[in-house]
Amino acid sequence: MKIAIHRRKNSFSANWIKYCENKGINYKVVDCYSNNIINQVQECDALMWHFSQANPKDILFAKELTFSLQTAGKKVFPNFPTAWHFDDKVGQKYLLESIGAPLVPSYVFYDKDKALDWVGETSFPKVFKLRRGAGSAHVKLIETKSEATKMVNKAFRQGFRLYNKRANLKNRWYKYKKGQTDLWNLAKGALRFFKEPEYSRIAGHEKGYVYFQDFIAQNDYDIRVIVIGDRAFAIKRLVREGDFRASGSGHISYEKRHFDEATIELSFKMAEKINSQCLALDYVFQDNQPLIVEISYGFVKEGYYPCKGYWDRDLNWHEGSFNAQGWMVETVLS
Ligand SMILES: Nc1ncnc2c1ncn2[C@@H]1O[C@H](COP(=O)(O)OP(=O)(O)O)[C@@H](O)[C@H]1O
Ligand SMILES: [Mg+2]
């Protein structure tokens, strides 16, 4: 078995490569952006590529390339069941409703009039989301009908840019105040007022649909559980001060006591139904019951290094550090 690996800075790839070297697994570094990538992978049995929702090239063709190779009989990471819904909250709504998952009640409209009718009769607050984005960048609390109407009008007129410079600068300011980032990072947020990031320009405007969820109140954290094969680990993310959003806050707790077994068990069940190699589930809670707000396959690996241990499929706890990227390689080998 030989694995082709696309190398990218700040991705899973460095750990995949290290794992292959330590275990004596045959691998080859390839360049997915090259015109002859199919040729490069030909001699291999598998391709692993940690593509990103914020990379201007990846968003153009990462799924198309990996799914093509999968169609041809290669193993890929992430494969189709793992990745097709990545960075697509609307796709996730259909998937999670189809499998009977406990998704936060979610609403999507492709007609302005139907959306406005719904705004007229529903209750508020609601949570507005774009289908794409991470770190809470496009998640907004909508308190009134008139605010919702404005969002609907914008969604069916000019649409939304994937890079929201105001929200982004506000987030950088928050992190700077909390000592989570430096002055240069803050300054970059200000410079972004003059130059939109390339991924956002390439992706174009998000428009022609509008997506809302019920607002699940009184959650001062969310829980993220990640299932890879027969193992799961979790983090608790506290919301930003004066905010309801946890993702991207940088306030993370790791102790096992924060996580209840029912949520871990549910996560294993969901990963199995979706047939995912690697599934991160974000949960909020209503009357102690977990409700999914979104799923994804990718994550920032450094945020999970401090995890205290992991659960196996039988919910046994294994204390100590672990190599989640190694598990990904194992799912490809299995
Ligand atoms: N329907 C909801 N009710 C209450 N809080 C929510 C809801 N949806 C999201 N949140 C909060 O907002 C954060 C970001 O939402 P999420 O859908 O995970 O978007 P992102 O892709 O930006 O992480 C979550 O971490 C959670 O704290
Ligand atoms: Mg999230």
The 10s digit of each residue's pLDDT in 246-301 is 998 889 999 999 999 999 999 999 999 999 999 999 999 999 999 999 999 999 99
Every domain range in the chain assigned CATH 3.40.50.20: 2-77
160 DSSP 8-state letter: B
Ligand 1 atom 10: residue of nearest CA: 245
Residues 319-325, mean pLDDT to the nearest whole number: 98
156's CB contacts (< 8 A; 6+ apart) are 112, 115, 207, 208, 210
With the most atoms of ligand 1 within 8 angstroms of its CB, the residue from 89, 171, 284, 296 to mutate is 284
Return the CATH fold of 221-333. D-amino Acid Aminotransferase; Chain A, domain 1 (3.30.470)
Give the total residue count for the chain: 334
Every domain range in the chain assigned CATH 3.30.470.20: 221-333
Ligand 1 atom 12: residue of nearest CA: 245
Are 307 and 211 in contact, with CB atoms under 8 Å apart?
no
Q: Which two tokens stand for residue 214?
A: 């019920």
Examine the pLDDT at 128 and tell me if it is beyond 90.
yes
pTM, rounded to two decimals? 0.95
Q: Facing residues of 108 across strands? A: 211
Given this model, what pLDDT does residue 40 score?
97
| Tens digit of each residue's pLDDT (9 = 90 or more) over 194-229 | 999 999 999 899 999 999 999 999 999 999 999 999
pLDDT band at 135 (very low <50, low <70, confident <90, very high): confident
- Report the percent of the chain where pLDDT is more than 70: 100
121's CB contacts (< 8 A; 6+ apart) are none
- Selected from 3.40.1280.10, 3.40.50.2000, 3.40.50.300, 3.40.50.20, the CATH number assigned to the domain covering 2-77 reads 3.40.50.20
| Tens digit of each residue's pLDDT (9 = 90 or more) over 14-27 | 999 999 999 999 99
Q: Which ligand is nearest to the CA of 136?
A: 1
| Tens digit of each residue's pLDDT (9 = 90 or more) over 62-120 | 999 999 999 999 999 999 999 999 999 999 999 999 999 999 999 999 999 999 999 99
Are 332 and 3 in contact, with CB atoms under 8 Å apart?
yes
Given this model, what pLDDT does residue 130 score?
97
Are 267 and 281 in contact, with CB atoms under 8 Å apart?
yes
Q: What is the mean pLDDT of the chain?
A: 96
73's CB contacts (< 8 A; 6+ apart) are none
Q: Which two tokens stand for residue 321?
A: 């550090």
Top-level CATH class of 103-214?
A: alpha beta
Every domain range in the chain assigned CATH 3.30.1490.20: 103-214
Classify residue 92 as exposed, middle or buried by CB count within 10 Å of its CB (0-12, 13-18, 19+). buried
Decide: helix, strand or coil at residue 20: helix
- Which residue type occupies 32? C
Pocket around ligand 1 at a 6 A CB cut-off = 104, 127, 129, 133-137, 139, 213-216, 219, 222, 239, 244-247, 282, 284, 293-294
Residue with tokens 């299932």: 227
Examine the pLDDT at 304 and tell me if it is beyond 90.
yes
Residues 295-322, mean pLDDT to the nearest whole number: 97
CA-based nearest residue to 58, from 38, 29, 87, 82? 87
Residues 52-64, mean pLDDT to the nearest whole number: 95
Decide: helix, strand or coil at residue 157: coil
Please give the number of the atom of ligand 1 that sits closest to the Cα of 89.
17
